[in-house]
Every structure is written in structure tokens, then in C-alpha cells.
Chains A and B, each alone.
Chain A
Amino acid sequence: GQQLNQSPQSMFIQEGEDVSMNCTSSSIFNTWLWYKQDPGEGPVLLIALYKAGELTSNGRLTAQFGITRKDSFLNISASIPSDVGIYFCAGQLSGNTGKLIFGQGTTLQVKP
């Protein structure tokens, strides 16, 4: 089946540093989504991308939908302790019913 390869698997950074993570696939997606999950909670939608090449920001978060439609990245600038959590990319295939395929997640730890 379709897979999303998300990297890095984990990151341990200093407060104030910028963070970058990405997802790639061999399949073409028509939507890319980025979620954050805190322990014991459900994923919370951070950014949604709908067009190839689209660059979207949400506060300190910036995400881009790759031109090939097979990849996406998420950047977090000036990280703070509350950025700690697991970040997931998710993609929806063209013509799909809304079913999402998730990456394996990037665990982010921020040292104050």
C-alpha cells in the first residue's frame, strides 16, 4: 500500500532553534496535512496544503506542498518548550474519499 516516509524520526533541540521535518512518498497526493499530537491526546491539525508548490504559514509554522506532489516539509521557527510533541504528516490521494495516510511521526523535544 501507499506509504509516507517521514524524517527525522526524532529531534532534540535547544529552545530558540529552528526545526525542519519532511515527508516523502512514491505516490502523488492532492492534499498534505500536518498534525501535532500531545501524549494521550488526538492529533491537532496545524496546516493544510491543497496545491502543488503552495507555501502556508501558521504563526511560527511554515509548510510547503512539493512541486512533484510527492513531498512536503514543515518548519518551526524559534522553538519553545510547548512545541514538544509528535508531528505527523498525512496525505490524501487524488480522487480519494478523504482517507488519510500518515507518516510515522517526528518526536520533538525542546530543551529550555
Chain B
Amino acid sequence: NAGVMQNPRHLVRRRGQEARLRCSPMKGHSHVYWYRQLPEEGLKFMVYLQKENIIDESGMPKERFSAEFPKEGPSILRIQQVVRGDSAAYFCASSPVPGRGEAFFGQGTRLTVV
């Protein structure tokens, strides 16, 4: 997972606040994926983005969650009005060629909502 940079590593938010999670893909990768992992569970797909485009957001909750991958800068996963159930580890992965499925993960952001 070297090269995919996520920050912050840990984020604490009070209920109702906004959380912003950032991801810089590996150099040369233009495909970014966000996954969520609850304790003791596997990763669950949330959204797939290319530069300036959302390609697949089938795993994103319908409300409060949004993602972007601007032409310049990192990809952002934004959670508005956080609730306790949003507490989880959020991982970003990048891929050079999406069709092959090979994806490299960052170290994750652990969100705790208090």
C-alpha cells in the first residue's frame, strides 16, 4: 500500500459535525475507490471515481455522504452531520487500470464519532 496517502489517520468528530477524509492516489493512478470497514468485518465498497467524475456510487449511503476527485488535488470523502454509526475505518485504494481489479490501499482514516 506504499504510495496511497490518506489523511488524517485518526479523526474524532462530535455528532452533527462534518468529516472530511482525503486520499492521494499512487503516482500515475487515476482511478480511486473508497471502502468502509466496520470492526471485525471485511471492506465494503462505497464509490469509484476518476478525475472529475463519479463512475460508480452504488455503495454510498443516499444521504450525508459525498465524494469527489477534482482535476487537481486529492480525492475527498465527505460525511455531513455525522452519527455514531459512521464510526469506522475508511480506506482509499487506487488502480492504474480498473478492469484488472488490482488495487492498492492506503493506511486508512479511522473515524470516531462521539
Interface string of A70-111 (1 = CB under 8 A from B): 000000000000000000101110001111111111000000
B65 within 8 A of A: no
Contact call B103/A100, Cβ cutoff below 8 A: yes
Using Cβ atoms and an 8 Å threshold, which residues of chain A touch B55? Answer: 97
Using Cβ atoms and an 8 Å threshold, which residues of chain A touch B93? Answer: 100
Q: How far is the CB of A39 from chain B (nearest CB, A)?
A: 11
What interface size band does chain A fall in? 20 to 34
- Stretch from B13-21, B70-78, B104-112 contacting the other chain: B104-112
A112 within 8 A of B: no
Contact call B44/A92, Cβ cutoff below 8 A: no
Number of interface residues of B (CB under 8 A): 31
Contacting residue for B101 out of A6, A40, A41, A98, CB 8 A: A98
Chain B residues 73-114 with CB under 8 Å of chain A are 91, 93, 95, 98-108, 110
Contact call A42/B101, Cβ cutoff below 8 A: no
A67 within 8 A of B: no
B69 within 8 A of A: no
Contact call B101/A92, Cβ cutoff below 8 A: yes
Contact call B104/A45, Cβ cutoff below 8 A: yes
Contact call A100/B45, Cβ cutoff below 8 A: yes
Chain A residues 37-87 with CB under 8 Å of chain B are 40-45, 48, 50
Using Cβ atoms and an 8 Å threshold, which residues of chain B touch A91? Answer: 101
